[in-house]
Structure 1
């Protein structure tokens, strides 16, 4: 039996990550895994998140168990799409396994990330929106594989879904599938236990939202985080498809 192609898409929160998972999940040849390190991240950090009990009960919190499933576990489709949050990859979670999957990075302008994240969480920090670890993981993949991974900007997907996703498919060496442009509304079996708190908008969707408008104005309290995140975003954006 041919080994499946395992795609690890690395994103910060509020980066269009769930809609992109919906897009890949609409392919007949692809199955999806939703944020498999979430429970491990909460266990290692001691942080308390919405729906904490449900998250911890739904996933293993041992990183090695998660890694074994992601790299060697059975997959019923030719492609497995793994949706990962960059900020979950804290100290205590090994990274060498990333050499065994095909990595890609989903980025978004930090002003948009901060605006969206602040609506869902009371405490906002540079680490919580995942930018520092996204840069670290990008470098990790480069060092492990000797190649620069694919980078895609969520604004580009919204502005030109077919054109951008065609480029993504080409970069991942998979065929373009027009089914990626739409999906039925509602939840999916692969959705994480946290979906009722975070996925209201995507569950109401049947495709990608309209192109983004002007960048939002941020309150003064969030501007230092924006200033710290911008160099990371701009560095990765240089490589986007």
Structure 2
């Protein structure tokens, strides 16, 4: 099985990758299209030069990598907006698709703590809706995952036809060998973790009402399909 996990940033996507990496029957990939996306767009992301040097920048080469399956299964963590730069999508046909969503107020607040300039493309709600419209798949609100990790992970495994293992609930602190080079900028909290964090508090106040208003319809449409 190729399990393609789509999300925007700051959405428990790395913790989910670690949960699947803890399974002995899974390999994992961390945002394989990131360098190709930066090369195509020219965007000044943090650690841009290191990312471009650390991954293939030709989308065709990345697509070929994403079709490989060294173990029985592979979990691929993808940012939905990486595909909005005209990347090929044929490689994703026939895979199982998992869409991780989070309330946009939380995404905006968390992402804004790491970057000063944020656009609608950065938080990827429209891009994720486009991918769902094309591929369908399993939708998981990560607030439900944090409220009850075992319950939600069991549901995901059942939807994928996978046996349950409680190994998914724990991982070693300090990161994973599959982490992208950008991990030292973005993954500090999850590197200190050994499992999913507890329930989130009240929604944060955000100063970007324009981003919130643009993202909410896409979030609500996907939320209505969540397991």
TM class, shorter-length: over 0.9
SS in 2 for 1:213: coil
| 1:123 counterpart = 2:117 | yes
Distance in 1, Cα, partners of 2:183 & 2:97: 24
* Aligned counterpart, 2:164: 176
SS in 2 for 1:128: helix
Which structure 2 residues correspond to residues 147-158 of structure 1 after superposition, within 5 A?
148-158=136-146
Deviates more, 1:111-120 or 1:171-180: 171-180
Which structure 2 residues correspond to residues 80-99 of structure 1 after superposition, within 5 A?
80-99=74-93
| 1:240 counterpart = 2:217 | no
**RMSD in angstroms over aligned alpha carbons?**
0.9
Question: In the TM superposition, what is the alpha-carbon distance from 1:74 to its structure 2 partner?
Answer: 4.7
| 1:165 counterpart = 2:153 | yes
Question: In the TM superposition, what is the alpha-carbon distance from 1:162 to its structure 2 partner?
Answer: 0.4
Question: In the TM superposition, what is the alpha-carbon distance from 1:128 to its structure 2 partner?
Answer: 0.6
TM-score, length of structure 2 as denominator length: 0.98
- Asked if the contact 2:37–2:85 (Cα under 8 Å) also holds between the matched residues in 1, the reply is no
Unmatched 5+ stretches in structure 1: 142-147
* Aligned counterpart, 2:204: 216
Question: In the TM superposition, what is the alpha-carbon distance from 1:99 to its structure 2 partner?
Answer: 1.1
SS in 2 for 1:188: coil
* Aligned counterpart, 2:176: 188
* Aligned counterpart, 2:212: 226
Distance in 2, Cα, partners of 1:62 & 1:101: 21
Question: In the TM superposition, what is the alpha-carbon distance from 1:188 to its structure 2 partner?
Answer: 1.1
TM-score, length of structure 1 as denominator length: 0.92
Distance in 2, Cα, partners of 1:74 & 1:89: 21
Runs of 4+ in 1 over 6 A off after TM superposition: none
Distance in 2, Cα, partners of 1:155 & 1:39: 29
* Aligned counterpart, 1:17: 13
